[in-house]
A and B are shown apart, each in its own frame.
Chain A
């Protein structure tokens, strides 16, 4: 067992799956000789060769479109899109083809592909390097959307994604790429897609979050000094509402936290489903602490935008006071 960062945990998962399954291949901009701009694929081209870790032309639609063809032929491509802000050019290939291939061919062709994408703000990056577009892709039927909040989960979830028979968008919160370390077993393990994690148990209120925001939530909960349950969704779609339902039925109060803008954010779906499933248990309206409905600011103002522990704490306290 080693104490690893998220970057190292993903690197380890890729190595182990590539050793095990020669259908797994990586492609993208700078993933080869450079090991990716965040070094997630560091050393992999040397280890597995340029045939399996491929530096492609700079073209996101091309990376995803070619990966769809590779997957249709039975390989397990793992394309990397360098930043979530550049996922846009691949939207057509993801939503018009990858997501609907199984349906429109009645299973004759499938796209077992894992799209790795660094996501979110908080690292003083340039424009279009800090967004949180998970809701766009969770809304598209046929795609699975995963976002780990730490190294241990990242390894187990990524292995599940790589073995999944359908397309998975694997968002990697760059804010915690190196900010935290966790014990990550060398041995193979998986964490199922579609299963949330109860980070800490509590009785007064439930906080639901995912990705890097989970860390901010933990700080806020500690500062509150109340018995608060924290749920890390881990998978955005398919969403584990059972775990959320159980928790909110117990606590009667819920605060949802995400970096993405509020309107039509994933929090809207979580809140609605809580209303559907836990209506008679609710003691207060479900609260959302999210990014604003604005363009993600440049880095001088990014901390004004991102929900921090203080804002989350206020949301929790408002909800408790209701």
Chain B
């Protein structure tokens, strides 16, 4: 028999609470205690509110370019909820909800987009890395962070997020390949939102699932309904158990949708159908959870209205705090380039000059001749 079957495989897809409100009791029962569910829901609502407020701020010139997270809240939130507090969260920029759950102050995230590096000074105990902009590069940092834990014999793992666009990057491959071949405990979590700015997912990946890319690296993989918080928590727990016990990586595709524009500098109406957006609005992770909680009798419209009001107030308070943060000092342009600034940088900092005669006043034969 010269031709045999070298590999047969399947990709499991997890859905627990679907868009019509159907709940799979077998998988979902006891997965998230009601008390936690309420807190998780509250985080999602606050995150969404922050998106709306940030959008308005940008439009009124009070904030720089901002990428909304709208529609994708469940992925990072479910992940952060399932992980231990000291597992690394290595994000790109649509994981605000997970960062909020981890305890990273929303102020940090907003300050970053308000053009202030101090937003990235993530307090160390949060085990969260600052927002990564270049696409896919942070996956390698997650690999290194988890590798360091393994090197020290700690049980810590890392979970890194990236979009469908990032799966086209070389660093995506290098990170998956390093983690898989060197046995590094990383969970690779692709937030497949179908759009990399204006380029649709089929240009990034023509395979039927993104999840199957994990198979090529010998990783177990799962596809999740990424707008279903229960599915995300379920999938993450499987991934965490595998990763922590074997020390090897796991690949997750959380299927979701970017309900907003790529950033405030983008206008998605230029390249995608409103019908598609409307269809996905019907699968919104927040609406889905709210309906479930109301049906279950642990939530009500009145409570929801009160929560929204409180969330709006807290977001406005955050904005106020961020806007009142003291303007960064000029010397900070220089101060963090190295632990110890070289003489030349000290001169540039002190004199504010890079031009020849101004840089070092001692070189002036006569100060008056150049003024």
- B123 in the interface (beta carbon within 8 A): yes
Asked whether, in the complex, the Cβ of A62 is within 8 Å of the Cβ of B171, the reply is yes
- A280 in the interface (beta carbon within 8 A): yes
Question: In whole angstroms, how far apart are the Cα atoms of A201 and B364 in the complex?
Answer: 28
Asked whether, in the complex, the Cβ of A144 is within 8 Å of the Cβ of B140, the reply is no
Asked whether, in the complex, the Cβ of B117 is within 8 Å of the Cβ of A105, the reply is yes
Q: Across the two chains, which residue of chain A brings its CB closest to B130?
A: A105
Interface string of A77-108 (1 = CB under 8 A from B): 10000000000010011001100001111111
User: In the complex, what residues of B have CB within 8 A of residue A92's CB?
Assistant: 134, 137, 171
Q: Across the two chains, which residue of chain A brings its CB closest to B356?
A: A276
Which residues of B from 160 to 175 have beta carbons under 8 Å from A? 170-171, 173-175
Question: In whole angstroms, how far apart are the Cα atoms of A68 and B158 in the complex?
Answer: 14
Asked whether, in the complex, the Cβ of A106 is within 8 Å of the Cβ of B338, the reply is no
User: In the complex, what residues of B have CB within 8 A of residue A280's CB?
Assistant: 365
Min CB distance A112 to B, Å, is 9
Question: In whole angstroms, how far apart are the Cα atoms of A214 and B6 in the complex?
Answer: 58
- The interface of chain A, by Cβ under 8 A from chain B, is 25, 51, 54, 56-57, 59, 61-62, 64-75, 77, 89, 92-93, 96-97, 102-110, 141-142, 144, 165-166, 194, 237-239, 241-242, 272, 275-277, 279-280
Asked whether, in the complex, the Cβ of B338 is within 8 Å of the Cβ of A102, the reply is yes
Residue tally, chain B, CB below 8 Å to A? 50
Contact A106 to B140, CB < 8 A, known contacts A142-B337, A144-B338: no
Contact A62 to B339, CB < 8 A, known contacts A93-B140, A241-B344: no
User: In the complex, what residues of B have CB within 8 A of residue A102's CB?
Assistant: 336-339
Q: Across the two chains, which residue of chain B brings its CB closest to A165?
A: B339
Contact A69 to B143, CB < 8 A, known contacts A166-B339, A238-B342: yes
Which residues of B from 120 to 165 have beta carbons under 8 Å from A? 120-124, 129-130, 132, 134, 137, 139-149, 151, 158
29 of the cross-chain contacts (CB-CB < 8 Å) are A25-B151, A57-B182, A59-B178, A61-B140, A61-B170, A62-B171, A65-B140, A65-B143, A66-B178, A69-B147, A69-B158, A71-B144, A72-B145, A73-B144, A73-B145, A73-B149, A74-B148, A92-B171, A97-B141, A104-B130, A105-B117, A106-B332, A107-B121, A142-B338, A144-B338, A166-B338, A166-B339, A275-B356, A280-B365
- B118 in the interface (beta carbon within 8 A): yes
A62-B177, A65-B174 known; 18 new pairs, CB 8 Å cut-off, are A59-B174, A64-B140, A66-B147, A68-B140, A70-B151, A72-B129, A73-B144, A75-B148, A96-B134, A97-B132, A102-B336, A103-B336, A105-B120, A108-B123, A109-B130, A165-B338, A165-B339, A165-B340
User: In the complex, what residues of B have CB within 8 A of residue A89's CB?
Assistant: 170
Asked whether, in the complex, the Cβ of A68 is within 8 Å of the Cβ of B144, the reply is yes
Asked whether, in the complex, the Cβ of A69 is within 8 Å of the Cβ of B142, the reply is yes
Question: In whole angstroms, how far apart are the Cα atoms of A69 and B157 in the complex?
Answer: 13
Min CB distance B354 to A, Å, is 10
User: In the complex, what residues of B have CB within 8 A of residue A239's CB?
Assistant: 344
Min CB distance B303 to A, Å, is 37
User: In the complex, what residues of B have CB within 8 A of residue A110's CB?
Assistant: 339
- B52 in the interface (beta carbon within 8 A): no
Question: In whole angstroms, how far apart are the Cα atoms of A141 and B348 in the complex?
Answer: 13
Asked whether, in the complex, the Cβ of B130 is within 8 Å of the Cβ of A97, the reply is no
- B261 in the interface (beta carbon within 8 A): no
User: In the complex, what residues of A have CB within 8 A of residue B118's CB?
Assistant: 106
- B198 in the interface (beta carbon within 8 A): no
- B363 in the interface (beta carbon within 8 A): yes
Asked whether, in the complex, the Cβ of A277 is within 8 Å of the Cβ of B360, the reply is yes
Question: In whole angstroms, how far apart are the Cα atoms of A74 and B147 in the complex?
Answer: 11
Asked whether, in the complex, the Cβ of A70 is within 8 Å of the Cβ of B174, the reply is no
User: In the complex, what residues of B have CB within 8 A of residue A242's CB?
Assistant: 343
Contact of A54 among B120, B130, B158, B182 (CB under 8 A): B182
Question: In whole angstroms, how far apart are the Cα atoms of A56 and B360 in the complex?
Answer: 47
Min CB distance A27 to B, Å, is 9
User: In the complex, what residues of B have CB within 8 A of residue A61's CB?
Assistant: 140, 170-171, 174
Question: In whole angstroms, how far apart are the Cα atoms of A19 and B105 in the complex?
Answer: 41
- B181 in the interface (beta carbon within 8 A): yes
Asked whether, in the complex, the Cβ of B174 is within 8 Å of the Cβ of A194, the reply is no
Q: Across the two chains, which residue of chain B brings its CB closest to A74?
A: B148
Contact A69 to B148, CB < 8 A, known contacts A103-B117, A103-B337: yes
Question: In whole angstroms, how far apart are the Cα atoms of A92 and B137 in the complex?
Answer: 8
Q: Across the two chains, which residue of chain B brings its CB closest to A60?
A: B174
Asked whether, in the complex, the Cβ of A65 is within 8 Å of the Cβ of B144, the reply is yes
User: In the complex, what residues of A have CB within 8 A of residue B124's CB?
Assistant: 108
- B65 in the interface (beta carbon within 8 A): no
- B58 in the interface (beta carbon within 8 A): no
Asked whether, in the complex, the Cβ of A70 is within 8 Å of the Cβ of B148, the reply is yes
Contact A67 to B122, CB < 8 A, known contacts A104-B117, A104-B130: no
Which residues of B from 328 to 364 have beta carbons under 8 Å from A? 332, 336-340, 342-345, 356-357, 359-360, 363
Q: Across the two chains, which residue of chain A brings its CB closest to B146?
A: A69
Min CB distance A94 to B, Å, is 11
Q: Across the two chains, which residue of chain A brings its CB closest to B362?
A: A277
Min CB distance B330 to A, Å, is 14
User: In the complex, what residues of B have CB within 8 A of residue A107's CB?
Assistant: 121, 336
Asked whether, in the complex, the Cβ of A66 is within 8 Å of the Cβ of B121, the reply is no
User: In the complex, what residues of A have CB within 8 A of residue B141's CB?
Assistant: 65-66, 68-69, 72, 97
Min CB distance B335 to A, Å, is 8
